[in-house]
Structure formats: C-alpha cells, structure tokens
Amino acid sequence: MKKVYIYDTTLRDGAQSEGISFSVKDKIRIAKKLDELSVDFIEGGWPGSNPKDDEFFMEAARSLKLKNSKLVAFGSTRRANTAPADDIVMKGLLKAQTKYLTIFGKSWDFHAKQILRTTLKENLNMIEDSVKYLSKKGRHVFFDAEHFFDGYANNPKYAFETLKAAANGGAEVLILCDTNGGGITSRIFEVVEEVRKKIKVPLGIHVHNDADMAVANSVAAVQAGCIQVQGTFNGYGERCGNANLVSILPALKFKLGMDCLSEFAFKELTESAIYIAEISNVRQQDNQPYVGESAFAHKAGVHVNAILKNSKSYEHIDPLVVGNKRRMLISELSGKSSIIDKADEFGLGIDKSSTEANKILSAVQDLEKEGYQFELAEASLVLLMKKAAGLFKKQFEMEDFRVIVEKRQNGPIVSEATLKLKIGDEFRHTVSLGDGPVHALDKALRKSLVEFFPALKEMHLSDFRVRVLDEKSGTAAKVRVLIQSQDKTDSWWTVGVSGNIIEACWLALKDSVEYKFMKKEEKRNK
C-alpha cells in the first residue's frame, strides 16, 4: 500500500482566503484538530512576514504539544545577491524553532526575470544556497517549486534546473506547484511522470483551484508518482482556493487504496470540516462532497426507493466511513418509500399501503406548491405527518393576533404584539413588547402558554431566516420563514410561508412550540 504524506496549509494558504482572518488562538485550535486526525505536516505560517505568525510560532513552541503531526514554518528563498546568513527570511525561519521548513523559489524563468528582476543563474543560486544553509542548520527542508507547471511549459529545461538546485542543496521533497491553478489534469499527470523519471528526490504536489480541477489534479499527481500532497481543509485559499484535502483524502484512501489517514481519523472527517469552517467563520457548503449535509441526501422518489433496497444504487461510498450520515428528504418529488422511511425515522410506524402515507405525500406536494420546503424544517414535517396520521394532540388554538410597529420621532422603534389563544376551555389575551415584531409575537405566545406548559422556559429561538420566493412580485411576493429553536438537549427547524411576513413567522413559531410540546409528551409517555 502506497504511503502518501498529507501536508495541510490551512493556517497559511487558507488564511489568504477572502473573508478569513485567524487569530493566534484560532490557529492553535485548528492545529490541534489536524493533529487529532494525524495529518503528517501542518504549515503554521510565514514567520517574519507579520506579527501574528511570529506570535503563533512563539505560542506553538511554548504550548502546542503535537502528538502526531509535524509543524512546518514557511518562507521564501534568500533575496538576490544576499548571503543566507544575512537574509531576513532565513533568520525568521530559524527563529520559528520548527524542525521542518518549506521554502518556495521561482521555477518559471518569466518570474525570475520579470518579477524577481534577477538573472536565471542567480535564481538557481538562491534556491540551492537557501536549502543548503537551512539543511546545515539541522532543518528538514521541503522545496516548493512555485509556478512549476507554467515554467515547465515555457522552458522545461530551466524549470527542471530549479529542482536540481534544490536537490543539490539537500531538499527532502520537491513540491511541484500549479500556483495559478489553471492546470489540466492530463497534463499534470504527464509532467509529474516525466519529472519522476529524471530525479530521485521524492515529489509532492501543490495546486490551486482556479480552473476547478485542484482535487483531480492532486489525485492525478499522486497516481503519477508524488508522495506528498498539499492542500487546505474545505479548499480555503486565495482567489478560488487551494486543493480541498477533505475531498482528496477519501479519494486516496477509498478509491485508490492508499495509506494517508487511519479509518478512525476518517470517521472524524465531517466533524473536523465543520469545526474548521466554524473557526474560519465560513458557512459550510451543504453540497460539499463527502462531508456536506447534502452529500448523502436523497430527494427523488425513485432514488429513495432504490437506496432503501441497496445503498450502493445511488451512493459511491458509505457515509459512515467519513463521519457523515444518509438523509431521506421529503418533497414534491418524494414517493411513498420516502414517506415510509421518514415516518420510521420519526417512530410513527406508517405502513406503505395505508391511507396515511397517501395523505402525507399529498399534503407535502400541496404545501411545496405554496413555497414550503421541509428538507431543513423536519420539525414541521413530523408535525404534518402526525396530523395526517391522526396522532397529533392540539394543545392550543390561535383566535387572532395583531402586531403594531411604531416609530416615534426621537425614540426607538417599538413593536407590540396582541395575541388571543384558546387553551382547552380557557381563553388567554396577552400583550407583549419586543425588539421587533417577531420577538414581540414570540413573547406574547410564551406569555400565554408558560403557565400551562412550564417547559417553554427552557426553549429559545437561535436562528431566523427569510427567503423571498418570487422576487419579480416585489413587496407582494410570498416569503418563506425558517426558525431554529433549541432547548437543553436538542435543536429543531420549523417553516412558515405566506404573502405576509408576520403570518409566515407566526406559522413557524407555532410549529416550533407545538414540536416542543410533542417532545415533552413523548418523553412523559416513555
């Protein structure tokens, strides 16, 4: 089994992604998570380039105790016409106190002449001198051949000379970089194969995603002979991002049978991707392969029917091996198989031949015509199912409500909700003020019910989303409101749709409270 070494550069290349700014604590937390996964190398940043990276390496030396991974400091070759011992980059790399260093140098003659403004010969000297100097200081040195594939296309002889210079200096791995991210997979494979035949030093691959081929290019490079693959978690990085390790890793392990991470680590892959997304303050993409919430979600009735018979029919891999889970979605595309499977998941026990299954399917299809979606709002879906099956116990009924929003000339906006509920044989008429109309309505609902249902005290709203369903209709358009609620042990989503945003909010709020009552009732009956 071929061993492939995983080199993560989320903390440096990933930090160059638009909208991402890691604190030192963030970088420490991510490094610990990567260490738990046993990623081979973690590139921590470029010491000397900014105060934050300097602080990170100081903190890492003091408190970061990695058990499985090796921390790497990143930098460039020495400057032109400067001795390595006098070069500020060399000093910064050594000051980082890491045993492993990665330095990049120009392998494209265009860059050497036009960007560095130096001679091709001096560029080769810069590479060899820098690697040799750092190696003699007792460091393990990797060499990133920046723009290698563009350089190889323009002047293959010179591009290869840059690799030889790094090898002569003592580089332990030569990383071929598609820095502009425009490489085509077949060409990446061919070039790696050609280089592999000419040089004995192990090769690595580092590609960007500007042509949306970074994962394919990385996997192809490994197939062609690279033993180290570089990338970032979730594909973070400058412009269109770097190669996404979250997709590369399972491809290497489960498609090609290569040794990269343990099966135990793979079961933490989904959680780790979400964890790093949260720290990065980036919304995790639902359709991200392997780890996205939709990666193993099945909506069409034909698909669901087949999946229930044999998961291989519409899944290329078992979701459990990467820590994800299968989801059966209910929509207007669903068939009875979807309904029955979802009912079983909710513990309703509806038979496929029963009239309840037809009622549920018909209700879902009718509501989705109106703009409802139950893929996220499963709490509203389970209530719908229970109502169709005659298993729902109504706890309250709304008689009427009124919401007033008032703006005084020199004062704040005031929202007031008046709500009349029927609870059993009693009527409750309550008024509440709130920060906004939804907040006021929520407070009025709770105020009416809490005496009868004290469990409401442990529940609160945690998220709120509004989607205009028909933008062409302007202010007359229907809106879909999604509300997330949570208590001490659980969280759930509910949905409401209306041409009036307040009514849509009310429908979602009502479902949210009814779902809480249902949970409490089920717990009491167990």
301-310, 448-457, 503-512: least confidently modelled range: 301-310
Residue 417 host element (H or E): strand 413-423
List, edge to edge, every strand of the sheet that includes 479-486. Answer: 460-468, 479-486, 491-498
Q: Quick one: pLDDT at residue 400?
A: 93
Mean pLDDT of 187-203: 97
The pLDDT-based confidence of 30 (bands split at 50, 70, 90) is very high
Q: Quick one: pLDDT at residue 8?
A: 98
Per-residue pLDDT reduced to its tens digit, 399-440: 999 999 988 777 788 899 999 999 988 899 999 998 888 899
Residue 66 in this model has a pLDDT that exceeds 90:
yes
Cβ(15)–Cβ(43) under 8 Å? no
Q: Quick one: pLDDT at residue 328?
A: 64
Q: Quick one: pLDDT at residue 332?
A: 46
CA-CA distance, 123 to 319, in Å (whole number)? 48
86-90, 188-192, 515-519: least confidently modelled range: 515-519
Q: Quick one: pLDDT at residue 311?
A: 61
Mean pLDDT of 455-471: 83
Which of 198-202, 260-264, 450-454: highest mean pLDDT? 198-202
Q: What are phi and psi of 302, to 5 degrees?
A: -65, -40
Q: Tabulate helix, strand, coil % of the chain (nearest 5).
A: 45, 20, 35
Q: Quick one: pLDDT at residue 333?
A: 46
Residue 501 is encoded by which pair of tokens?
A: 């945003």
Q: What are phi and psi of 453, to 5 degrees?
A: -130, 80
**Mean of the per-residue pLDDT values for the chain?**
89
Give the β-pairing of 426-434 and 413-423: antiparallel
Separation in Å, CA 137 to CA 90, 91, 118, 497: 11, 11, 27, 67
Q: Quick one: pLDDT at residue 376?
A: 75
Per-residue pLDDT reduced to its tens digit, 319-339: 899 998 876 665 544 555 666
CA-CA distance, 129 to 135, in Å (whole number)? 10
Q: Quick one: pLDDT at residue 329?
A: 61
Q: How many CB atoms lie within 10 A of CB 432?
A: 19
Q: Quick one: pLDDT at residue 414?
A: 87
Give the β-pairing of 173-178 and 203-207: parallel
Residue 277 is encoded by which pair of tokens?
A: 């997304």
CA-CA distance, 74 to 101, in Å (whole number)? 6
Residue 301 in this model has a pLDDT that exceeds 90:
no
Residue 90 host element (H or E): helix 88-95
- Please choose, from the candidates 169, 142, 143, 154, the residue with its C-alpha nearest in 3D space to the C-alpha of residue 108: 154
Residue 39 in this model has a pLDDT that exceeds 50:
yes
* Amino acid letter for position 82: T
Cβ(130)–Cβ(90) under 8 Å? yes
Report all structural domains of the chain as residue ranges with CATH numbers, in order of start: 44-229 (3.20.20.70), 297-366 (no CATH), 397-525 (3.30.160.270)
Per-residue pLDDT reduced to its tens digit, 336-369: 566 666 676 766 766 666 677 777 777 777 887 7
Distance of CA 68 to the CA centre of its chain: 23
Q: Quick one: pLDDT at residue 258?
A: 97
Per-residue pLDDT reduced to its tens digit, 134-155: 999 999 999 999 999 999 999 9
Give the contacts of 412 (CB within 8 A, at least 6 positions apart).
none
Query: Which is more confidently placed, 207 or 378?
Result: 207
Q: Quick one: pLDDT at residue 512?
A: 93
Per-residue pLDDT reduced to its tens digit, 208-234: 999 999 999 999 999 999 999 999 999
| CA 344, 348, 354, 359 torsion-angle sign | negative
Residue 304 in this model has a pLDDT that exceeds 70:
no
The pLDDT-based confidence of 474 (bands split at 50, 70, 90) is low
Q: What are phi and psi of 406, to 5 degrees?
A: -125, 135
